[in-house]
């Protein structure tokens, strides 16, 4: 590839809305161009990286036995109504109507559509297991799109879905995907950690996130050096620590009083710093004896993660008075409220608990606080305007480095991470709702057991840059660099020798299948080098008359502090 035939557009300054280094560098290097909030054009240089990322994912998915197909971006609402997600998803789900006033969804994920395919196509146990995947555009109307491709509204995801005859076989499919993900992120040259994750509103039996380690990550992860324990800090496994810390069994300092309770009271009551309750919805239920005295107050604490969308809600229960504090299990909450904790709130409530009816958990900028009785609660509670943004509070769960790990084998360390992949063992969550069955050996219909597996293709660009950059720009890992080698000739248009040597090396490398760029734009050396350092090409060869006189060219790796002379006739072998 010659630079004059390509499109290169670099900027000295990043636009002011770019907050983190990867976003700034992607804008400056001309990889993306903003079209609207969370919506980007992928420019030619950026698209090359996306294609490399996709290529690695495809190779490893195919190697792992997954089969590629392509499902539509626009999906009929009926399927989403079958699983109930049409109602549950809230405003993150983009809905559109066609000319006949029919409802559609711009897909944020594809469980419904793939399950619809599976219930028609996978009829017999003989066809199982199967794993289908696609690499497709997604749209999620994120509450707070930011950091460029890191949290876009439109983005590209690889999503795969496995179908098995039983849980045991589904576990094997899950493990196969887990292993494939490890290979994928290793091949991309990323430093990452697989952590146990919450199954959230998607539900299911097991879940792991693949987190690229970076200080700017929106997630916090805890891990133990002495064992293989690693978890997203949101995961309930970390919760007992908070319960323990809040544990001194003592009478409640205060009972949330109708008409009086404030978030400070609740924080005091729970003995948690206010910063931890800032994104929580707290309801209290009083149990009274026959004399009408309160004998027990149960505080239902719904911890909500940073972007507090409906599907990110966690639940816990803290009992006061005689029992001290503890968190309820998800099952207990389910039993009490008649629905999954993630679905708590007016939309999902099946039993009439008296919560305010005009607020959804998804819209929690107005918080609810107080007793769980009609008119005995507040809405619009000020949960501490002066508090730092919750996603900047490192230990939002009160887990601190040095705490004992839940497996008792060591102590916890904390890191920040960027979620680039997520694997879920779904079980029959979707096949049940959509009646997706196969016939077993005895001809009896059985529910398909599913798993789903996502990778944020475009988010990977941001994550890779967060990990690989310096003050001059991006440093791409070889495997996903837009070009692996750039040839910078000094005087390409003036010196026949330089031109011949540069063209020859270019052709040799190109013939060998190496992505090579020859900068024939005639830029001054300083400007030319600055461009390629910003763009982050990992290997550079400078060819000049001065060097060629001694039969040399100059090689510099993107991380090297100085150039190394190489014999011109050996450079091809060196780079190959
Ligand atoms: P997050 O917690 O960051 O909102 P998620 O848990 O909602 O992500 P999943 O539903 O697990 O995302 O989707 C699979 C993958 O898609 C994620 O691991 C992530 O890499 C990517 N992804 C999700 N949302 C976005 C987004 N808004 N922009 C870019 N990539 C995204
Ligand atoms: Mg999300
Ligand atoms: Mg997540
Ligand atoms: Mg996820």
Strands 130-139 and 67-68: parallel
> Which distant-in-sequence residues (6+ apart) come within 8 Å of 56 by Cβ?
184, 187, 188, 479, 480
Q: pLDDT (tens digit, 9 = 90+) per residue, 213-240? A: 998 888 878 888 998 888 887 653 333 3
CA 456 / ligand 1 centre spacing (Å): 6
CA max distance for the chain: 103
User: SS3 for 219?
Assistant: strand
**Which pLDDT score, from 0 to 100, does residue 389 have?**
31
Q: Alpha carbon 264 to chain centroid distance?
A: 32
Q: pLDDT (tens digit, 9 = 90+) per residue, 422-464? A: 999 999 989 999 999 999 999 999 999 999 999 999 999 999 9
SS (H, E, C) 356-384: CCCCCCCCCCCEEEEECCCCCEEEEECCC
Peptide bond into 129 cis (omega under 30): yes
- Tell which residue, 198, 365, 379, has the closest CA to residue 279: 365
The interaxial angle of helices 457-467 and 21-28, nearest 10 deg, is: 100
d(CA 97, CA 102): 5
User: SS3 for 215?
Assistant: coil
* Residue whose CA is at the smallest distance from ligand 1 atom 1: 419
Q: Is the CB of 40 under 6 A from ligand 1?
A: no
Paired strand residues for 284:
299, 371
Write phi, then psi, for 394 (nearest 5 degrees).
-60, -45
CA distances from 142 to 63, 74, 267, 281, 499 (A): 33, 18, 29, 21, 50
**Which pLDDT score, from 0 to 100, does residue 266 have?**
45
Question: pTM of whole model > 0.80?
Answer: no
CA 343 / ligand 3 centre spacing (Å): 16
Q: Is the CB of 420 under 6 A from ligand 1?
A: yes
Backbone dihedral region of 321: left (phi > 0), alpha (psi from -120 to 50 degrees) or beta? Answer: left
Q: Residue 420 CA: which ligand 1 atom is closest?
A: 20
- Tell which residue, 36, 22, 279, 26, has the closest CA to residue 142: 36
Which of 456, 462, 464 should be mutated for ligand 1, with most atoms under 8 A from CB? Answer: 456
Buried residues in 346-361 as b, exposed as e (16+ CB within 10 A): ebbbeeebebbeebbb
Q: Is the CB of 419 under 6 A from ligand 1?
A: yes
d(CA 449, CA 426): 7
Comparing 280-289, 347-356, 520-529, the range with the smallest average pLDDT is 347-356
Assess whether pLDDT exceeds 90 at residue 246.
no
The interaxial angle of helices 44-63 and 457-467, nearest 10 deg, is: 110
Assess whether pLDDT exceeds 80 at residue 192.
yes
Q: Residue 202 CA: which ligand 1 atom is closest?
A: 10
Average pLDDT along the chain:
79
d(CA 502, CA 31): 26
Q: Within a 10 A sphere around the Cβ of 196, how many other Cβ atoms?
A: 20
Which of 455, 459, 466 should be mutated for ligand 1, with most atoms under 8 A from CB? Answer: 459
281 band by pLDDT with thresholds 50, 70 and 90: very low
């Amino acid at each position: 590839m010659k630079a004059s035939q390509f499109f290169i557009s670099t900027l000295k300054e990043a636009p002011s809305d770019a907050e983190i280094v990867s976003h700034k560098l992607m804008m400056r290097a001309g990889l993306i161009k903003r079209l609207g909030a969370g919506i980007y054009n992928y420019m030619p240089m950026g698209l090359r990286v996306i294609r490399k990322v996709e290529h690695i994912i495809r190779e490893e998915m195919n190697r792992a036995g997954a089969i590629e197909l392509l499902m539509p971006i626009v999906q009929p609402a009926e399927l989403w109504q079958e699983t109930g997600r049409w109602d549950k998803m809230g405003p993150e789900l983009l809905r559109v109507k066609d000319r006949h006033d029919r409802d559609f969804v711009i897909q944020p994920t594809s469980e419904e559509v793939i399950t619809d395919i599976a219930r028609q196509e996978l009829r017999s146990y003989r066809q199982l297991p199967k794993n289908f995947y696609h690499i497709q555009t997604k749209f999620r109307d994120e509450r707070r799109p930011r950091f460029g491709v890191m949290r876009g509204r439109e983005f590209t995801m690889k999503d795969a879905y496995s179908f098995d005859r039983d849980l045991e076989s589904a576990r094997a499919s899950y493990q196969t995907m887990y292993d494939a993900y490890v290979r994928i992120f290793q091949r991309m040259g990323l430093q990452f950690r697989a952590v146990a994750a919450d199954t959230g509103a998607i539900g299911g039996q097991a879940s792991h996130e693949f987190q690229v380690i970076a200080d700017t990550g929106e997630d916090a992860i805890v891990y133990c050096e002495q064992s293989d324990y690693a978890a997203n800090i949101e995961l309930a496994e970390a919760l007992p620590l908070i319960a323990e810390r809040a544990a001194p069994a003592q009478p409640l300092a205060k009972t949330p009083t109708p008409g009086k309770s404030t978030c400070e009271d609740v924080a005091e009551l729970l003995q948690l710093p206010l910063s931890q309750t800032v994104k929580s919805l707290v309801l209290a239920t009083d149990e009274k004896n026959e004399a009408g005295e309160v004998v027990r107050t149960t505080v239902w604490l719904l911890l909500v993660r940073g972007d507090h969308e409906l599907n990110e809600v966690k639940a816990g229960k803290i009992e006061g008075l005689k029992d001290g504090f503890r968190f309820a299990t998800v099952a207990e909450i389910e039993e009490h409220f008649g629905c999954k904790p993630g679905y708590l709130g007016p939309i999902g409530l099946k039993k009439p608990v008296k919560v305010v009816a005009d607020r959804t958990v998804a819209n929690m900028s107005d918080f609810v606080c107080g007793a769980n009785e009609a008119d005995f609660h507040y809405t619009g509670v000020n949960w501490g305007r002066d508090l730092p943004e919750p996603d900047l509070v490192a230990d939002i769960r009160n887990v601190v480095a040095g705490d004992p790990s839940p497996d008792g084998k060591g102590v916890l360390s904390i890191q920040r991470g960027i979620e680039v992949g997520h694997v879920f063992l779904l079980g029959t969550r979707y096949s049940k709702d959509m009646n997706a069955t196969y016939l077993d050996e005895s001809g009896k219909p059985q529910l398909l057991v599913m798993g789903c597996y996502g990778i944020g293709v475009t988010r990977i660009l941001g994550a890779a840059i967060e990990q690989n950059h310096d003050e001059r720009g991006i440093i791409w890992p070889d495997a996903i660099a837009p070009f692996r080698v750039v040839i910078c000739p000094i005087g390409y248009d003036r010196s026949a020798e330089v031109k011949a040597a540069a063209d020859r090396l270019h052709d040799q490398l190109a013939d060998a299948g190496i992505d090579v760029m020859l900068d024939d734009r005639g830029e001054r050396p300083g400007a030319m080098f600055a461009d390629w350092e910003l763009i982050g090409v990992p290997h550079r060869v400078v060819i000049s008359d001065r060097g060629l006189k001694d039969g040399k060219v100059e090689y510099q790796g993107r991380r090297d502090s100085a150039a190394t002379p190489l014999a011109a006739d050996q450079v091809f072998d060196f780079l190959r």
